Structure 1
Amino acid sequence: MALKNKIASIYSNSTVFLKPVLFICLAALGNASFGQSEIEQAIEINIAPQPLGQAITQLATQTGLLIGVDASLIADKQADALNGRYTPAQAIVQLLSGSGLRAVETASGRYIVELAPAEPQSTNNLDRVRLPEITVTSLLDSHSPYNTSYTRSKATAATKTTTPVIEIPVSIQVVPRAVLDDQKSLTLKDALQNVSGVQATPTLGNDTGFNIRGFRNDSNYRNGLIANGGNANFPTAFDTANLQSIEVLKGPASILFGRIEPGGMVNITTKRPLAIPYYSLEQQSGSYDLYRTQWDATGPVTKDGSLLYRFNGSYLNSESFRDAIFRDRIMVSGSLTWRPTQATELTLEVEGIHQKGQVDFGIPVIGSRPAQIPISRTFGDRNDPVDTDAKVHVGTEFTHRFNSNWLVRNRFLMTDIDQNQTFFNPAPSFGDALRDNRFLDRNIFHQRHHLQSYATNLDLNGNFGLGSTLHEVLVGFDYLRSQTNYFIAGEFSTPAPVLTVDIFNPMITATDPSIIRQTLQENNRYTALQDEWAGVYFQDRITLWNKLHILAGGRYDWVSAGRSFSPASFSEAEKNVLKRKDEAFNPRVGILYQLLTQVSLFSNWTTSFAANNGVSATGASFDPQIGEQFEAGIKTALFKERLITTLAFYYLTRENILTRDLSTPDPLDSIAVGKQRSKGIELDISGQVTEELSVIGSYAYTDAEIIRDNSGFQGHRLPQAPKHAGSAWLRYIVKKIHPLNGLSFGIGVFAVAEREGDIQNTFKLPGYARLDAFAAYSTKLGATRLTAQINARNILDERYYESNDPASNIGPRLGVYPGAPVTVLGSLRLEY
């Protein structure tokens, strides 16, 4: 029977929701050819209880067998432990025992997995399904450290389920770990340059803070829960060592995740414990005295594999192309997974980051362009105290499967952030601190913020058939509570004449520490910000005729948000918090039709709700933000579903947006500028063209402007929203030229058009195109794999400007961030 007909028959006989898009997986971790003696020889097999797909991968690793399997056959199936001495043929039979599947040998050392027949069938080879052999990494779990594929066909952020991307009627992109390793992305902004419609908007030199589809979004989600509390105006330290992948969901995501900006959301997934032992140590060094050590260790704690662990982290010490700017950062993460039964799993994860360094507020603007001064020039002080940034995440995830169709999942995340920063800032920070286009007035300012947040959710997910329709339903509840205490001291509005510098001929100052201490005893203010929200949501993904997918759902929110300040203490500020309570319902409807297995058309409509946690200069609170999006597009899964593409057209609006009120000296005073609109086209491509050639690329046309405003900005373009931006990264792995096996190399270009620098449209950041490349070689040293790699960024040494401060700490005209000149990073990694 042909494979297509066989798959169709499986679907027609199933009452369980089965995904119509299939892919063929192959595990080939051993030699491609086998002798008969090797097949018959008994070896020691050690496989822990785990999902059947992972167990098959582990068996292929230990035996060297080539095993082909249809992914739908093993979905939601569990494997029992397999320990002892077996021949490879005995081992695979034993592993599949009781699963309703059987292994069919197609050649020496080569097997396919298929449904076990209910009655004896013909052994005619014409009736046997022969699955094609593809690359080794295709069957590897997406969390496997050996998975070098750029293809990620699933993402949880869109639906909180494992529905294939090509079946979801929304635009979502995934940046996998393999891309981060090839590009040596050390920061979140480096990784997200691969996604259309996303532009970095950091503040004080931090690596987080983004515009998505023209709208600023400082909120980062971690394994589906918000990781920086309800008040996200304080970007913090971040390290990619514990990062498994990044998901970017475009457009309003409120239906499943609560209060969030309508442009989209960034959800990071962290590394989890694995059942297969794995250890790695990597040393990196590069330009500007960068040294970074990264480690990873995982495997079973108990012999039966019911308890797994993972311990990873990194240490970074680096100078910068910017004068007097440095970072000293350590990140440590540990996690445990306990599987008391095959149906139940509990994971505990703790991650801590501590960073020391100096904040960077960039360079000022003269006229309509960044000042033509060396991009290395900063305007700090020799006695500027070192700034610190500490963050702790404690998270749990509990999953219980009632059967193959129904499961319940609970997540919890506690976040504690403590930032302490003192800097010689432009004064007035939000005014005209650059006099005569030459003299930068400054003063000394200190800010400290401490955030503690608690987030949790409970989801029930199930599949069932109803008549001729298949349903995948989700019902859930989530809750967030966060408290931010923000303290400021010193002077940010009135300059100190003795601290004025000539930006064209600066004299490096060394201010008397006693003057610094005295200044920081003035103008103290304590601000308390509180957020609390709860939401219930439901979602049903209905499938008809295995081609038409309808996604419908909604969410009801209860939100309380507010702030207050006091010159005396945090306790006084907390007593007088002015809270506003709002509640709202937001729907989402989407439809997707699969013209072919590889081609889908989709459209959606959704709204969003976001409480405005701010106070005007008069002390009044603000109505909540409202977002609305219409989107349509086409998705494809080409080259045996290894290359995923999404082309989307969208129209997005939001109303009641808070923006820094530049007419007052209070950095927390806000104004609601009315209504903004963004419309555009986005294209994203990622995956494998062939076994050797992989690609990840993007293009975005973004038309974002102010439609209605109370400050005279109607018709202005939104800042940091270039009309055109794109990227293309190609990687080639040599696999068929024996002397060069193990060699890989890649090249990429990242381009951004001219864009406005502030909401007043008083200046522009010029467009640029940056060229990057890498080359790597891997070889085996016994049981250890050694990989040497070199990466070069900005090969053509282009002078460019990444972004500017979005009026968070200083005015946009005073804080433009240059991009780094040509930089080189070398690394050595040992894996075993």
Structure 2
Amino acid sequence: MHSKTSNSRLQYRHVTAGLLSVAISTVVNQPLYAEQQSNLTTRYYNIPSQSLDGALTELADQAGLKLLYPAEVVSNKQSQPLSGNYSPKTALETLLRDSSLDYRFTDDQSVTVQKHQKSMDDLLKIAASDEYRVDATGGGEEDYTGPVEQEDLTVSGRELSGYNVINANSATKTDTPILETPVSIQVVPRAVMNDQKTTTIKGALENVSSVRPQSSLGLGNGFIIRGFHSDRVYRNGLVANGLSTGRAAQFDSANLERVEVLKGPAAVLFGRIEPGGLINLVTKKPQDESYYSLEQRFGSYDFYRTEWDATGAITDDNSLSYRFNGSYQNNKSFRDFNFNDRVQVNPSVTWRPSDATEMSLDVEVLHENYQVDRGLFAIGDRPAPIPITRSFIDPNDPVDTNSKVYLGFNFTHAFNADWTIRNRFLASFVDSNDISVKPANAFTVAEFLDPSSGNRTYLRNIFSQIVTSQTYTTNLDLTGNLELWGTNHQTLIGIDYLRSTGTYLTRGNFREPVPGLGIDIYNPVYGIDPSFYANALATPFPPGSNHSYFRDEWYGVYFQDHITLWDKLHILGGGRYDWATTGRGKGDSFSAAEADLPSRKDEGFSPRVGILYQPWAWASVYGNWTTSFGANNGITATGATINPEVGEQFEVGLKTELFDQRLTTTLAYYHLTKENIMTSDFNSPDPLAKAAIGEARSQGIELDMSGQITDELSVIGNYAYTDARITKDFSGLQGNRLSNVPEHSGSLWLKYDIHHYEPLNGLSFGMGVFAASQREGDDANTFVLPGYVRLDAFASYAYQLGDSRLIAQFNIRNLLDKTYYESTDPFQNAPPRVGIYPGAPLTAIGSIRLEY
């Protein structure tokens, strides 16, 4: 938004009495039909994002309204999607959102759509302020209306039905459209998660190119992006889990509005992060209009899940609003002895004391009881030829727990139409406690099958670990719009701070086989005596150093300038300077470990440069060069700390908005390198000792698309060609492919909504295919995971019940019941050869959802 000067513009002082008198006369004499019509009948609408002219035509037909407007007013404008129960007033506001257009009721059934006109409140503010500028002619630029958070993509509390998203805050921390941003960023909107019935972010991220799951202990808390592993996830732009301990609780989807993935190094705005990219979760926000929903799901393996969502205004003037949503899930698994019992609650409030100021407070609490899953193992160069349902834990295993608490705060204040300040704060508390039966020698490369039994006996021991972390992080951003020498500048200046501490306690002999715990892999007999668990919990291991204390602290300052020339050329430049302190101490108690805490300090500069040219309104080409800075928090076998990881990327690409701006696509080529990669030291008796492989390189081509092809056909899909290899190494791995990275992967999900055939209106159905070629199971390339193609499908029907809507839906995942393997452990809790995680067989889910 820019404030341009002209001869007809009065600046900095007062508007003329003539202008005020005209405005007052207009307001006083205008009929109050907008006030009257708010009481008209609320009804259900389902109008997809399309040309504004087409959307208004559909609204007029469905609402029985007469809409009047010149054709040029709506030319080349796109509507917001509309799905849910609305009054005519709210429906119009939704469709016209971000269009710079207003409406007014001339009688109960007639509406005029026109360019935005200044209201009486606007003019009084202008008259009283030295900071506002106004066009004396009453036309021209869009007018200031207070802060607009790009994260707030819900409309009156209702979840958007469209697959298309044109803005993503994670790329630049500003409201720059994706088409004008010279980096690759993809968004999975809430509508996709609803249609696919995903319960965690792992399922949502299957829709993004070059993103692969990489679980540990069976939890979906680790991912590979552009070839490089990352277990760090951001929430509304801030780190959502502890750093040093590398652990995170599940991320349930109930509170998510969308998931954004920024490809490539993101250190310039976010600090320490893996160079492959950043996953940012955008949560639901309180809304002014009341909305309630309740959903019950049920499915295979005794799956039951309840989701709820409630939002609305607390005060009559809408200055205070609330939201309360959450979920409860209880299920068994296709894996023997595995289960999950999880609850999440998310209360939040938003206060808007004025049009220019907004404050939000939100809490997210998740607790789950579950059973650690150690996965399967490899024999030779393939996963073992045993049923994927078979588990080598035990039905007598104690219940494991995982929990997290987030406390978030967000403050936004717009000084005027051009300058806005934002402050975010997030406190994260993550705790996990698990004890499980695991393969012996699990932190070395030694074999875990007893050769004296003909390699039939699986050698096991018992291992317990307790992890806690507390992370406090905040940032302060100042954004502004400037005009200098005929160029437009969108400028960002920011600072951030993070402090994270954590503890790690290990017990049980996790290297040597425990006599009496061996089990036949082909004919297992279960039932471990409880005394084995008691003995493990009474055994500190390693003796004298089984308590660890971690501490991370960093400060960062950053700047960014997005320059626009001739409305076609966009130049993005910026940089960040980091100061990072890391350390890990070990001892026979946490106090001894903290007293023994070594400290390493690193600092570094991370620049980013990008350029984008937009020859047409629907297409742009771009390129960027960017780097990243990390601070390792591991030690070698000799106790030495490791130099920071650094990444560098070159990328070029093409972006389009096709089918009247309803389908967004990104085609990208990238070349990415990473140095000082931290991995486990195979030659050390210490299972937590680390060493640097040296350097790895990933390069490839990506294609992502999301949106609508027609009013009834929606699509989200991707393809990735990835060549990720170790390029420098001291232990003989040079030239090997990086583990769990397929050379070819992709997905295509299609949804068809019937809108224009009366007997079937409300029916939707869709199908998706998810595929990956074979992958190396470990960095040593000793075995491979076979390629796979998985087919999913769904059908739903929405039925209007007065002012409410009832939606019945049925989903099938892995329709053809194919056997496949998702990933291997990233050597976090086990070597990859004994941590192979299979995908689920055919799974059916039914759901009933009531919205009102």
TM-score w.r.t. the length of structure 1 is: 0.88
| 2:334 is the counterpart of 1:316 | no
**2:394 maps to which residue?**
381
Q: 1:632 to 1:535 in 2, by over 3 A?
A: same
> Which of the numbers 292, 302, 308 marks the counterpart of 1:295?
308
Q: 1:278 to 1:27 in 2, by over 3 A?
A: farther
Q: Is the 8 A contact 2:227 2:722 kept in 1?
A: yes
1:58 positional shift? 10
- Farther off after superposition, 663-672 or 273-282: 663-672
In structure 2, distance between residues paired with 1:271 and 1:434: 49
Question: Residue by residue, what CA displacement relative to the aligned partner does 1:289-322 show, whole Å, maximum 9, x if unpaired?
Answer: 0000000000000010000000000000000000
2:680–2:688 contact (8 Å) kept in structure 1 = yes
Does residue 779 (structure 1) correspond to residue 779 (structure 2)? The answer is no
Which of the numbers 603, 608, 618 marks the counterpart of 1:588?
608
Tell me the equivalent position of 2:554.
533
Q: Which of 455, 458, 464 matches 2:482?
A: 464
How many Å apart are 1:526 and its aligned residue? 0.5
Offset of residue 259 of structure 1: 0.2
Q: How many residues align?
A: 771
Tell whether the 8 Å contact from 1:27 to 1:140 is kept in structure 2 after alignment. no
Whether the 8 Å CA contact 2:265–2:273 is kept in 1: the answer is: yes
Alpha-carbon spacing, 1:232–1:768, altered in 2? closer, same or farther (3 Å): farther
Query: What secondary structure, in the 3-state scheme, does the structure 1 residue paired with 2:592 have?
Result: helix
SS in structure 2 of the partner of residue 236 of structure 1: coil
1:456-493: per-residue Cα shift (whole Å, max 9, x none)? Answer: 00000011111210000000000000001000001110
What's the secondary structure of 1:362's corresponding residue?
coil
1:616 and 2:653 matched? no
Look up the match of 2:234. Answer: 221
Do structure 1's residue 565 and structure 2's residue 595 form an aligned pair?
no
> d(CA) in 1 for partners of 2:67 and 2:195?
36
Write the distance in 1 (CA, Å) between the matches of 2:590 and 2:536.
21
Distance 2:523 2:679 in 1: 34
Partner Cα separation in structure 2 for residue 263 and residue 384 of structure 1:
37
SS at match of 1:499: coil
Identity of aligned residues (%): 52
One-letter code aligned to 1:409: R
Q: Which residue of 1 aligns with 2:19?
A: none
Aligned position for 1:576: 596
Q: Distance in 1 between matches of 2:116 and 2:84?
A: 12
Secondary structure of residue in 2 paired with 1:373:
coil
CA contact (8 A) 2:156 2:289 kept: no
Distance 1:734 1:528, change over 3 A: same
Structure-2 residue corresponding to 1:819: 839
Q: Shift in Å at residue 230 of structure 1?
A: 2.2
Q: Tell me the distance in 2 between the aligned counterparts of 1:740 and 1:272.
A: 33
Contact 1:143-1:271 within 8 A present in 2 as well? no
Matches within 5 A, 1:203-218: 203-218=216-231
SS in 1 for 2:516: helix
Counterpart Cα distance in 2 of 1:56 and 1:147: 7
- C-alpha separation between the residues in 2 aligned to 1:299 and 1:527? 46
Q: Are the aligned partners of 1:147 and 1:178 in contact in 2 as well (CA < 8 Å)?
A: yes
CA gap of 1:8–1:119, structure 2 versus 1, over 3 A, is: closer
- Contact 1:58–1:276 (CA<8 Å) still a contact in 2? no
* Alpha-carbon spacing, 1:118–1:624, altered in 2? closer, same or farther (3 Å): same
Q: Secondary structure at the match of 1:193?
A: helix
- Output the CA distance in 2 between the equivalents of 1:545 and 1:272: 36
| Alpha-carbon distance, 1:435 to partner | 2.9
**1:65: Cα distance to partner?**
5.3
Matches for 1:590-739 after TM superposition, within 5 Å:
590-739=610-759
Show CA shifts across 1:256-305 (max 9, x none). 00000000010000000011110000000000000000000000000100
Alpha-carbon offset, residue 118 of structure 1: 3.3
Distance change in 2, residues 1:519/1:703 (3 Å): same
Tell me if 1:257 matches 2:276: no
Shift of 1:767: 0.3
Q: Distance in 1 between matches of 2:5 and 2:786?
A: 54
Deviation per residue, 1:98-146 (Å, 9 max, x gap): 18999xxxxxxxxxxxx9993899xxxxxxxxxxxxxxxxx98468524
Distance 2:310 2:823 in 1: 37
* Structure 2 CA distance for partners of 1:321 and 1:254, relative to 1, 3 Å: same
Aligned ranges for residues 254-293 of structure 1 at < 5 Å? 254-293=267-306
AA paired with 1:600? S
1:434 maps to which residue?
A: 449
* Residue aligning to 1:522: 539
Shift, 1:24, TM fit: 4.5
Q: Does the 8 Å CA contact 1:28/1:67 hold for their aligned counterparts? A: no
Where does residue 469 of structure 2 map in the other structure? 451
Please state how far the C-alpha of 1:502 moved relative to its aligned partner. Answer: 1.1
- Does 223-232 or 733-742 show the bigger shift? 223-232
What residue in structure 1 maps to residue 147 of structure 2? Answer: none
**Contact 1:451–1:482 (Cα < 8 Å) also in 2:** yes
* 5+ residue gaps, structure 1: 1-6, 16-21, 41-51, 103-114, 122-138
Task: State the shift of 1:60 in Å.
Answer: 5.8
AA at the equivalent of 1:361: R
CA distance in 1, matches of 2:682, 2:60: 67
Is residue 206–residue 235 contact of structure 1 (8 Å, CA) maintained in 2?
Answer: no
Q: Secondary structure at the match of 2:769?
A: strand
Find the residue that maps to 1:497 and give its secondary structure.
coil
Pairwise CA distance, 1:9: 14
1:235 CA displacement: 3.5
Equivalent in 113, 118, 122 of residue 137 of structure 2: 118
Where 1:761 maps in the other structure, the secondary structure is coil
The question of whether the paired residues in 1 share the 8 Å contact of 2:210 and 2:745 is answered with yes
| Alignment CA distance shift 1:400-1:592 (3 Å) | same
Distance 1:782 1:58, change over 3 A: closer
What per-residue deviation string (whole Å, max 9, x for no partner) do you get for residues 642-685 of structure 1? 10000000000010010011222322111100000000000000
- Aligned partner of residue 71 in structure 1, secondary structure: coil
Name the residue aligned to 1:191: 204
Once residues 112 and 118 of structure 2 are traced to their aligned partners in structure 1, the CA distance between those partners, rounded to angstroms, is 10
| 1:831 matches 2:851 | yes
Counterpart residue number, 1:759: 779
1:225-257: CA deviation from partner (whole Å, max 9, x where unpaired) = 000122262132221000110000000000000
1:188, distance to aligned residue in structure 2 (A): 1.1
Question: Offset of 1:35 from its aligned partner?
Answer: 5.7
Give the 3-state SS of the residue equivalent to 2:671 in structure 1.
Answer: strand
Q: Aligned pair in 2 of structure 1 residues 301, 502: CA closer, same or farther (>3 Å)? A: same
Which residue identity lines up with residue 595 of structure 1 in the other structure?
P
Deviation at 1:705, TM superposition (A): 0.3
> Deviations along 1:734-760, whole A, 9 cap, x unmatched?
011111000000000000000000011
Confirm whether residue 73 of structure 1 aligns to residue 100 of structure 2: yes
Unaligned runs of 5+ in 2: 10-49, 69-78, 124-133, 141-151
For the structure 1 residues 488 and 64, does the alpha-carbon distance in structure 2 shift closer, same or farther, using more than 3 Å as the test?
closer
Tell me the distance in 2 between the aligned counterparts of 1:632 and 1:322.
Answer: 43
Q: Does 1:504 align with 2:522?
A: yes
Name which of 28, 32, 54 aligns with 2:61: 32
In the alignment, structure 1 residue 484 sits paired with structure 2 residue 511:
no
For residues 819 and 578 of structure 2, the distance between their equivalents in structure 1, rounded to whole angstroms, comes to 46
The correspondence for 1:359, drawn from 336, 349, 372, is 372
Please give the alpha-carbon distance, in whole angstroms, between the structure 1 residues aligned to 2:191 and 2:94: 23
Partner of 2:253: 240
Is 1:149 aligned to residue 162 of structure 2?
yes
Give the aligned residue type for 2:431.
Answer: D
Separation in 2, partners of 1:142, 1:429: 50
The 8 Å contact of residues 350 and 392 in structure 1, kept in 2 or not, is answered as yes
User: Letter of the aligned partner of 1:545 in structure 2?
Assistant: W
The Cα of 1:531 is off from its aligned counterpart by 0.3
**Which residue identity does 2:291 align to in structure 1?**
Y
Contact 2:242 2:430 in 1 (8 A): no
Greater alpha carbon shift after TM alignment, 802-811 vs 228-237: 228-237
One-letter identity of the residue aligned with 2:197: K
Contact 1:410 1:457 in 2 (8 A): yes
Q: Is the 8 A contact 2:3 2:417 kept in 1?
A: no
Deviation at 1:62, TM superposition (A): 4.1
